[in-house]
A and B are shown apart, each in its own frame.
Chain A
Amino acid sequence: MRVNEDGEETMNEKLLLKVESVSKNYEEVRVLDGFSMEAKRDEILCIIGPSGCGKSTMLNIISGLIQPTYGQLINKSQNTSYVFQEDRLIPWKDIYQNIQIVNDESSHECCMELIEKVGLKGFEGFYPHELSGGMRQRCSIARAFNYDADLLLMDEPFKSLDYNLRIGMIRYLLMLWENKNKTIVFVTHEIDEALLLGDRILVLSNRPTKVVAEFKLQEAKEKRKLTDRSLGIVRNQILELLQSDGMIAAKKMEKAKRDPIYA
């Protein structure tokens, strides 16, 4: 398909992050092998894949914590914020200090507002060990939002929480995200999380990791066209992709695409 210059320009402007055939070896184990993906500005990109397929490694590469063995990474974001699998709060700082610490310029009001938004009002002076797992994870999300960044990486942040709490956390997350211009790359292995959050969902295969399918839900979500039924179908498709060998399932998907069920 041809894209005229104008179109390309807007595409480039929208592009925030581009991972181009990145590979990463840990000694002899090749975790990522020629992996590519993109993220646009102000979208929530969910990446879903079987455990051990290198999702965390990829996030670490994007955030610059580790260097890829081969490949190229274009990161146009000013700053990158991170929510880890565990809360990683500083045990000797209280909730307020933990949130404030990542951004020296953040005002008192800003911190208090974040604390209120994640439902931790009244707990500012508590230490992490005095709070429950869900509260700690909310604090770590508030911390990530306090850091002045346009790209937010989340690495299975709700892994240790129960189902109800997860849904609640996703609500908090969407509420925080609404007013700020932030791109979120959200890695998970829970389909429901991805469906609730994602504007776009990438499904990854087992190692060697490849993108086997991409679901675009944004338009449908904006037009409120996403019915329970179509969500259910997408859910089943993702499930099938994850359960079977990714590549075979992807071929099946090609056939299924003739009958567009979403949007």
Chain B
Amino acid sequence: MKATMNSKQHCQHKQTYKRRTSFIEVLMITSVFLLIWQALSRLYSPLILPGPVLTMQSILKILQSDNFFNELFLTLQRLVLGLFAAIVIGSIMGILMGCNQFCKRLFEPLVYLVQATPPILYITMAMLWFGLNGRATIFIVFIGSAPVMAVHIKEGFENIDGKLIEMGKAFAFPKSKMLKVIMLPSLKAYFKTGLITVFGFGWKLVVMGEVLSASTGLGAQITDAKMNLETNMVFAWGSIVVLLCFLSQKNTDWLFACKRRRRRNYE
């Protein structure tokens, strides 16, 4: 009984230690940032640096316009398609590299090569291969994110606790059990960080791809705004993209944290 109490207290202590940044702190940081922005925007013309108020107005204008959700939907579609392929194929590559030495020797240089190539090269090639429609963007998202995922999963395999594996062997776990009970749960943390990194990459790549190679989507709107010298619109679209990227990363974090272990009762 005493031990139960202690453990509960321990948990509470942990929770207070790991508490989230409070609302007031967020407010303070944001207001300081906005103040500096406002001050700087006074020094330059809106063409160079639009102030926060103007940007806010532009964002509202965008949100009210009809085509916003169409553009957002197009971008999301590209992002989801590219990321889905990247996560699936990247994970499979990672698992193969982790499980099999031959696969590792075969794929590892390839994965690092793909990762080392600058995305701008892929964009150039993709524009030639797929033309100036959305498909080039999907390809860029995929080729930019898949190796990141693969490397994360491979790292996860390399960091599985060898002592646990040895324990499994000592108790004659069959391979499937070893994978299910020891290996895959060990990979979870790596999968999560991989996912968060890939989401960040995905958003950047999808917008970049659209800016350079598409006439639709959020990125294309930025290009349009730039063409028309509407810096405030560039800022507004940019803010929207940043916010969406932030939210998707934060949500992944939340998704994993949400599944907190609940204590079972075996009586």
Establish whether residues B164 and A147, one from each chain, have CB atoms under 8 Å apart when the complex forms.
no
Categorize the interface residue count of chain A. 20 to 34
Q: What is the distance, in angstroms, from B184's C-beta to the closest C-beta of chain A?
A: 10
A240 is an interface residue with CB less than 8 A from chain B: no
| Residues of the B chain whose Cβ atoms lie less than 8 Å from the Cβ of A186 | none
A123 is an interface residue with CB less than 8 A from chain B: yes
Contact with B163, one of A63, A88, A126 (Cβ below 8 angstroms): A88
| Residues of the A chain whose Cβ atoms lie less than 8 Å from the Cβ of B266 | 96, 108, 112, 124-125
| Residues of the B chain whose Cβ atoms lie less than 8 Å from the Cβ of A123 | 3
Encoded as 1 (CB less than 8 Å from any A CB) or 0, chain B from 161 to 175 comes to 001101101111000
Establish whether residues A130 and B265, one from each chain, have CB atoms under 8 Å apart when the complex forms.
no
Q: What is the distance, in angstroms, from B8's C-beta to the closest C-beta of chain A?
A: 10
Establish whether residues B172 and A79, one from each chain, have CB atoms under 8 Å apart when the complex forms.
yes
Establish whether residues A147 and B171, one from each chain, have CB atoms under 8 Å apart when the complex forms.
yes
| Residues of the B chain whose Cβ atoms lie less than 8 Å from the Cβ of A126 | 7, 263
Q: Say whether chain A's binding surface is mostly helix, strand, loop, or mixed.
A: loop
Contact with B167, one of A84, A125, A130 (Cβ below 8 angstroms): A84
Q: Say whether chain B's binding surface is mostly helix, strand, loop, or mixed.
A: helix
In chain A, positions 33-72 with a C-beta closer than 8 Å to chain B are 63, 65
B242 is an interface residue with CB less than 8 A from chain A: no
| Residues of the A chain whose Cβ atoms lie less than 8 Å from the Cβ of B261 | 92, 94, 127
Complex Cα spacing A88 to B170, Å? 11
A167 is an interface residue with CB less than 8 A from chain B: no
In chain A, positions 136-190 with a C-beta closer than 8 Å to chain B are 147
In chain B, positions 233-267 with a C-beta closer than 8 Å to chain A are 261, 263-266
Closest to B188 in A: A92
With A79-B172, A126-B7 as contacts: A96 and B264 at CB distance below 8 Å = yes
| Residues of the B chain whose Cβ atoms lie less than 8 Å from the Cβ of A84 | 163, 166-167, 170
| Residues of the B chain whose Cβ atoms lie less than 8 Å from the Cβ of A92 | 185, 261
Establish whether residues A93 and B181, one from each chain, have CB atoms under 8 Å apart when the complex forms.
yes
Categorize the interface residue count of chain B. 20 to 34
| Residues of the B chain whose Cβ atoms lie less than 8 Å from the Cβ of A88 | 163-164, 166-167
| Residues of the B chain whose Cβ atoms lie less than 8 Å from the Cβ of A209 | none
| Residues of the B chain whose Cβ atoms lie less than 8 Å from the Cβ of A124 | 264, 266
Complex Cα spacing A41 to B14, Å? 49
Contact with A65, one of B4, B7, B10, B169 (Cβ below 8 angstroms): B169
Closest to B10 in A: A130
| Residues of the A chain whose Cβ atoms lie less than 8 Å from the Cβ of B170 | 63, 65, 80-82, 84
Complex Cα spacing A84 to B167, Å? 8
B182 is an interface residue with CB less than 8 A from chain A: yes
Complex Cα spacing A96 to B7, Å? 17
Complex Cα spacing A101 to B168, Å? 10
A192 is an interface residue with CB less than 8 A from chain B: no
Complex Cα spacing A239 to B169, Å? 35
Q: What is the distance, in angstroms, from B173's C-beta to the closest C-beta of chain A?
A: 8
Complex Cα spacing A86 to B265, Å? 27
| Residues of the A chain whose Cβ atoms lie less than 8 Å from the Cβ of B169 | 65
| Residues of the B chain whose Cβ atoms lie less than 8 Å from the Cβ of A108 | 266
Establish whether residues B171 and A86, one from each chain, have CB atoms under 8 Å apart when the complex forms.
no
A-to-B contact residues, CB < 8 Å: 63, 65, 79-82, 84, 86, 88, 90, 92-94, 96, 101-102, 108, 112, 122-127, 130, 147
B-to-A contact residues, CB < 8 Å: 1, 3-4, 7, 10, 163-164, 166-167, 169-172, 181-182, 185, 261, 263-266
- A90-B164, A90-B185, A125-B264 given. 19 additional CB < 8 A pairs? A63-B170, A81-B171, A82-B171, A84-B163, A84-B167, A84-B170, A86-B163, A88-B167, A90-B181, A90-B182, A92-B185, A93-B181, A101-B181, A108-B266, A112-B266, A122-B1, A122-B4, A123-B3, A124-B264
Q: Give 11 CB contacts A-B under 8 Å.
A: A65-B170, A81-B170, A84-B163, A86-B163, A88-B163, A90-B181, A94-B263, A101-B181, A125-B265, A125-B266, A126-B7
